[in-house]
Structure 1
Amino acid sequence: MPITIRERFSQITDSDLDLLGYDHTTARPEWFILQALPVPPVTVRPSIILETGIRSEDDLTHKMVDIIRVNQRLKESKEAGTPPLIVQDLVDLLQYHTTTYFDNEVSGIPQAHHRSGRPLKTLTQRLKGKEGRFRGSLSGKRVDFSSRTVISPDPNLDLAEVGVPESIAKKLTIPEIVTDWNIEKLKKLVINGPDKFPGVNYILRPDGVKIRLDFVEDRSIIADSLEAGYLVERHLLDGDIVLFNRQPSLHQMSIMGHHVRVLPGKTFRLHPAVCPPYNADFDGDEMNLHVPQSEESRAEALLLMRVQEQLISPRFGGPIIGGLRDFITGAYLLTKDDTILNTQEFCNYAMLGDYQGKIPEPKIKIKMAHFLLANNYFLYFYHLILIL
């Protein structure tokens, strides 16, 4: 019987519990046998009033009513000298209601149901799982200035770029303070308004008045009234720094800083080489984009979180981003002994990487035309790749 087990547990001394590794001040073994059941506040188990005016109680309240009812019957049966068989049945029923109050999905025990047949959602079911308190309510967040859609590959992007659909770029905004240096640019954006890209959705005046531009017919008047000190919430533009994230966020490279490239379409575009740190692939994965709203947060994203700052994994000290597929094949073809580049081709490639160094002497000279062995200059390109 539980009462016998509790009595034996209570006879264990504090010194023995210390030897066994228990903290006797917070977890004595006899406390596993319940004598009192804490009742959660009504904020945890609120009742609702249906359209018919009938009051409907929470699942936890129903279970506690069952526990109190059976416990009262058990007490009365013991006092009345009821046969032990009936008392034992009531003890088993009380155990069942207490167990399903804590966890209504215990293996081998029938679930407690509503009269409608729906299983009751008790304590464990509220805490665990994706929709539970920990993952759904505490870890899960709902934030402003964010978007989510499917990702697709685009090897033409730079490593730290993310392709953003124009429809999303028009919804997500960046607050930009009007100054003497950017006022003309922002006036053009204000005239475009919220529906034409690139444009502006809102203007915040220094006196706190917020102007919503989709209700303004003649936006040129608003543009002319723009002054230094106004705050303009403009569309995302090429080069803006944003945070890109794929869940589950298991390590620091699960969220990195990218530069925006506004593109047509309805998916986020990602360079294939950046997939490993996100553990992403293109079979329907979705990713989240967050837009920093202050200069401080943008500076941190730029200096600390950009892809270029996350190339080395802190877990094993090696590169987590590197060449793959066409890049490796292209490097092989470029460095073959019979691959030659003329001066113009080399200069074009060097210009793409913004190379500023000295060009070495060509290895082959034919009829006044200089030809460069690609293999001899691969290190220059490799240097450019590292800089990029």
Structure 2
Amino acid sequence: MQILDRRLNPSGKSLENRQRFLRRAKAHIQRAVREASQDRNISDILEGGEISIPTGGLNEPRFHHGPGGIHDNVLPGNKTFAEGDILPRPEGGGGRGAGGASDGGADAEDAFRFMLTREEFLDLFLDDLELPDLAKRRLTDVEQEGLRRAGYSVSGSPVNLAVTRTSRLAMARRIALRRPSPRTIEQLEAELAACEDAERRVALQAEIAALKTRMQRIPYIDPIDIRYRRFESVPKPVAQAVMFCLMDVSGSMSEHMKDLAKRFYMLLYIFLTRRYRHVEIVFIRHTDRAEEVDEETFFRSPATGGTVVSSALEAMRRIVEDRYRPQDWNIYAAQASDGDNSYGDGELTASLLKDAILPASQYFAYLEVGEAGQHDNPVMPNSALWGIYDRLIGDGHPLSMRKVSSRSEIYPVFRDLFQRREGKAV
């Protein structure tokens, strides 16, 4: 179906220009939301608030006639200088402005400030984020049911009236009851008009009256003929996904590193619960052993110990095997760690990732957290986990990895990992 809007544009305005203006204004607001989010705590992101955007470029463009010609403008208040005079410069920088100094320089702009509600802020905050390759679908019993055609019924809404089926049934009833046709009556009336025999005219008049009476007794459409299109509820195919959150809580993770990891997972939790209805979240934390925990324990309960990354991957593999068939579920994982691992665990970690985790996953995101300024040092060697994951990316696996060392980097890195893109993430 194609819909053509033939309404005229408002005077001096163009529909294409208006759409371009709306896209530009939305881009300004989204940029302002991203900048405001970087300075907020995770709990504050759930709330709306005031944001500001530059006023330049917010006026909707429109066509208008220029002034044209040559004009002389006379400004009031001048009693000293005439046209062509050179204005002297104040001596010793004695000029005085009306206000204080601006730190914006020549590029400073006025700002337009307004409030966003919680819903508006989150919609803009998550507008261009998505889970990559969300493709596997199956029928579920808990999904909201859709509608499909299911024949006809004798009752229903007027908007569902089946005109063709109603007309067909009405015609069948008229034929079965031998309802006189209007053409037959018209022929008899024409014969009556041309007939001059008195007896024949009486007979024709009686026959016409009987046919009209019979026609009135057998209506053209009877209530028993009316049919309505009927619809029934059926489960809709939906895309199901599960996100595994794997967090290192071992003794090598400082409080600063754990704070960065938790902030990343809080953003991920907000993103998933806000944007998707059928995404389950599995929380796994590990030291030298891994355990599946609830949300409260994952974010708040302290833990310490050695570091064995393969324990978390083995726990994820076991849960996938027990509860989430890869044929039916879109499987994702997000891991946060400082990159340290036991010396003898690297080979097992690589084997689990390559043979069990990544083949069953749609996408695997690895976030390496460090102390403030740690990742800014170019001579700092890569961690053990970073080297393993780097080799797996080279083999074409659906894996992305980023480094963060400060709170301000969490939000940009999160957007980089889950932004809407074509193809596989790298």
TM-score normalised by structure 1 residue count = 0.21
Q: Higher relative contact order at CA 8 Å, sep ≥6: structure 1 or structure 2?
A: 2
Larger Rg: 2
